Amino acid sequence: MQAKRVFITGASSGLGAALARQYASEGATLGLVARRGEVLHELVASLPNAERHRVYALDVNDSAALATAAADFIAVAQGIDIVIANAGISRGTLTEYAEDLQVFEQIFATNVTATVATFAPFIATMKAQAAAGRTDARLVGIGSVAGIRGLPGAGAYSASKAAVMTYCESLRVELKKDGIKVVTIAPGYIDTPMTQVNDYAMPFLLPGEKFAERAVATIDAGCSYRVIPWQMGVVAKVLRLLPNWLYDFLFANAPRKKRDL
């Protein structure tokens, strides 16, 4: 089997780094994107076949830089199999504070618009590969259980992840006829630097490496949507079914991520 060619944003830590390690262990060739170039180089040095992998130190909000990185990776790897738009940020927000508007804009730019900018440069190549008989390409969006219902104090993050999941659904249907699969993964609580700052209980907390194993299996299978871990998938289904009055009663005083003061 030909080694996979995988492009991952937000790869310097957390879910992105865990996915990079998992794919590298399977012999993939990686294109890794993050702002912290020195951390990416340290990660690559620790991976099998380090000489195969490419590092792109850039901000995912710079769509031109993303497009340049995508073109370089396609040229070097001679194609593309999997693109994972993993880069994302989470901060506590409250609409009543005028200064939080800028935080909302930043979260939407990084979590939503950058997902579009990550996928866009690869679609033409994926279509050409599919026309030539390779219909195993995957575009992978990282949503969140937090996007299934709006969480208090996390309006920006919840709304951005809901947007990512709905966008990926639209894209999945849009590209179906072209032989490109779009996979949406909604993590629950995963042990990463993003969650380690939370000072409240996180049910079914999953180590990053376990998440990566399950995520890679999900991507390989071409699943349209999956919550990881599965226990949070059950919780997600229950949350979807709750009437608004009951959801509001249960979550009005739920623990929330602190604002940056």
As a whole number of angstroms, the distance between CA 106 and CA 109 comes to: 5
Q: Which two tokens stand for residue 137?
A: 């390409």
As a whole number of angstroms, the distance between CA 195 and CA 200 comes to: 10
Please measure the distance between the N-terminal and C-terminal CA atoms of the chain and give it in whole angstroms: 52
Q: Per the residue annotation, which of 157, 200, 225, 247 is the catalytic one?
A: 157
CA distances from 118 to 65, 149, 165 (A): 10, 25, 15
Half-sphere exposure of residue 41: CA atoms within 13 angstroms, side-chain side: 4
Residues written for the chain: 261
In order, the DSSP letters of 114-145 are HHHHHHHHHHHHHHHHHHTT----EEEEE--G
As a whole number of angstroms, the distance between CA 135 and CA 205 comes to: 34
157 part of the active site: yes
List active site positions: 157
